[in-house]
Amino acid sequence: LAASPVWPFPRWIAHRGAGTIAPENTLAAFRVGASHGFRAFECDVKLSADGIPYLMHDDTLLRTAGQDSGASTLVWSEISLLDAGGWHSRGHAGEPPASLEAVTAFCQRNGGVLNIELKPTPGDETRTGEVVAAETEALWQPLVDAGQAPWPLLSSFNAKALAAARETAPQLPRALLLDQLTPDCFDVAELLDCTAVILEHSLIDPALLQRLHHAGLRVLAYTVNDPDAAERLLGWGLDGLITDEVARFVPD
Ligand code: G3P
Ligand code: MG
């Protein structure tokens, strides 16, 4: 399989920054993931009400930022004051939510590779794809032009968000996330001109992997936390896996 010109496909990618040992999707998580030797990071990105891309998994701020509001109903100046670490542990209390700009700066300072999952608040799919793609292009273009870094990989379960990202910045590599196989799922990936698909790991078997590689798609798996499963998948030729177990697996 030809090397992708745009994403290096590291074999080990830290889920939400550092899995579960630090508050997900915060800068603290990226620091912890990096301290365990990870250089590739997955994170979930949504937009604030005023269109600032920031890291948040859920559709509301309640679980990870203690505020009973929709994730896209407050403006960034309000969201940035919330505590995104206290829910996780006392030692992380006061950790602020992270903007995409802040984790980008972290990755650029530390040679990190980013997988940005477009996780639009329902109804906000097109705007999320457009804004995140535009900001990613603006933040990374100088480094990419200088040959100093690869583009981030934009992924999503949401085809509409990926289509909007493609329309805005077609040169950014894209991956379709799949939690189940449907008759047309790989046609969708092809239509969106995806570099890769990212499958829920139990969906993968050697025949499927071979078929996707023959179709020119790289294949990643989420969320692989079991060492036997990781070894099996990589033995079959998987291109990389997203894991919570940043303290257990040693990235090569
Ligand atoms: O990007 C892979 C994985 O993060 C998708 O599931 O719910 O953890 O964002 P989720
Ligand atoms: Mg995710």
pLDDT in tens, 13-28: 999 999 999 999 999 9
Task: Say how far apart CA 25 and CA 2 lie, in whole Å.
Answer: 32
Statement: residue 86 has pLDDT above 80: yes
| Predicted pLDDT at 6 | 77
Which ligand places an atom closest to the C-alpha of 25? 2
Active-site residue identified among 15, 36, 92, 201: 15
Statement: residue 1 has pLDDT above 80: no
- Is residue 92 annotated as part of the catalytic site, yes or no? no
Whether residue 129 contacts residue 120, with contact meaning beta carbons closer than 8 Å, is answered with yes
Whether residue 40 contacts residue 85, with contact meaning beta carbons closer than 8 Å, is answered with no
Task: Say how far apart CA 207 and CA 107 lie, in whole Å.
Answer: 35
Residues 6+ apart with CB under 8 A from 230: 224, 241, 243, 249
pLDDT digits (tens, 9 = 90+) for 126-177: 999 999 999 999 999 999 999 999 999 999 999 999 999 999 999 999 999 9
Q: What is the ipTM of this complex?
A: 0.99
Running DSSP on this structure, what letter comes out for residue 70?
A: B
Residue type at position 78 = E
55-77 b/e with 16+ CB inside 10 Å = b?
A: bbbbebbeebbebeebbbebebe
Is the minimum distance from the CB of 177 to ligand 1 under 6 angstroms?
Answer: yes
Residue 84, token pair as written in the block: 């995104």
CA of 225 to the centre of ligand 1 (A): 13
The distance from CA 35 to its chain's CA centroid, rounded to whole angstroms, is 19
- Best mutation site among 42, 197, 204, 246 for ligand 1, i.e. most ligand atoms within 8 A of its Cβ? 42
Nearest residue (CA) to ligand 1, atom 5 = 222
pLDDT digits (tens, 9 = 90+) for 200-223: 999 999 999 999 999 999 999 999
Average pLDDT estimate for 44-51: 98
CA of 42 to the centre of ligand 2 (A): 7
Nearest residue (CA) to ligand 1, atom 1 = 117
| Predicted pLDDT at 5 | 54
Whether residue 204 contacts residue 179, with contact meaning beta carbons closer than 8 Å, is answered with no
Report the residue count for the chain.
Answer: 252
Is the minimum distance from the CB of 137 to ligand 1 under 6 angstroms?
Answer: no
Residue 235, token pair as written in the block: 């033995």
